[in-house]
Amino acid sequence: MDVTPLISSDRQVIQSYKQGQFKVSGQVYDSPVLVYPDRVEAWDVSVMPADFSKDEFSRLFSKLENIDVCLIGAGQQGFFVLPEYRTIFQQGHVGLDVMDTGAACRTYNVLLAEGRRVVAALWPL
């Protein structure tokens, strides 16, 4: 599915996603990634986001700088984040939204087009 909005060419745009793969600004990734407005990084996680402990949420948060919103694309479906885990982000003034990976890709592009400081932490479908 093509999800490309009109965004400046110097930004990392999620162009498409499919089973086990993402295409971001022309580059294909087949593992979990962190998509920032200016770069893409491998996301070193060993468990699915729905199985995250407080440590995994803390590790993810520690990778964020100058970000207002963190979107977690959790695979086929989102999940409820326990309040004690959500607090890690709230105390750092970073919004946290968890959704299925497709929704996270589309939402990231919309927020990026609006000029928001957003990161998408994406687990492949």
Q: How far apart are CA 6 and CA 9, in angstroms?
A: 9
How confident is the model over 56-112, as pLDDT tens digits?
A: 999 999 999 899 999 999 999 999 999 999 999 999 999 999 999 999 999 999 999
Please state, rounded to an integer, the average pLDDT across all residues of the chain. 92
In the numeric block, which tokens belong to residue 51?
């199985």
Q: How confident is the model at residue 15 (pLDDT cuts 50, 70, 90)?
A: very high
Q: What are the structural domain ranges in the chain? A: 14-123
Regarding the domain delimited by 14-123, which CATH topology (the fold level of the hierarchy) does it fall under? Answer: Hypothetical Protein Mth938; Chain: A, (3.40.1230)
> At 62, is the secondary structure helix, strand, or coil?
helix
How confident is the model over 36-69, as pLDDT tens digits?
A: 999 999 999 989 999 999 999 999 999 998 999 9
Residue 104: what pLDDT? 97
User: Is 3's pLDDT higher than 60?
Assistant: no
Q: Indicate left, alpha or beta for 26 from its phi (over 0: left) and psi (-120 to 50: alpha).
A: left
Residue 101: what pLDDT? 96
